[in-house]
Structure 1
């Protein structure tokens, strides 16, 4: 978990995460996860203070900001898939070569 983060990111996968995916795929996934986790669990990820040394999430903690939007979990799940496909089709596939070159350059610097 990065320093001063609110909560860790959870990866669910099969195979070898680092060998089966490119750096670009992992960077994209982490960026997306950071945003989506704040949407999916605002009572945890919209916290007002960083997590302690040992992360122990609980819905009983009250140090968070309420969102003013009610989210439907089924709708969010559907939208997550649609948005992922949109990003892949409109951003990742058309610009894959440029993004891969950028990620290699960024990681080396």
Structure 2
């Protein structure tokens, strides 16, 4: 049986070939294989965003920062997706959290 990492890599390859729907399907399998595999959520959020499936993209981006609350890039992605939804206040909040996380990481 393929690991979450294998499936995520396969999904990204499918995406690179322009097969976004199959890529998303494969990333969903990766998430089923390991519900905490952050890379699968990063990739699927990006792919959903590209397809204009913003609710799904935001849900995946929220999962990224839930799994790793110190993921600055996760907050940036979440903020950008929320902006695209017109949820400016939530986007600003995600951005502020990301900036706080980044400043904290520089102090270490």
TM-score range, shorter chain: under 0.3
Rg larger in structure = 1
TM-score norm. by structure 2 comes to 0.27
Considering Cα pairs closer than 8 Å and 6+ residues apart, tell me whether 1 or 2 has the greater RCO: 1
Q: Which protein is richer in helix relative to its size?
A: 2
TM-score norm. by structure 1 comes to 0.27
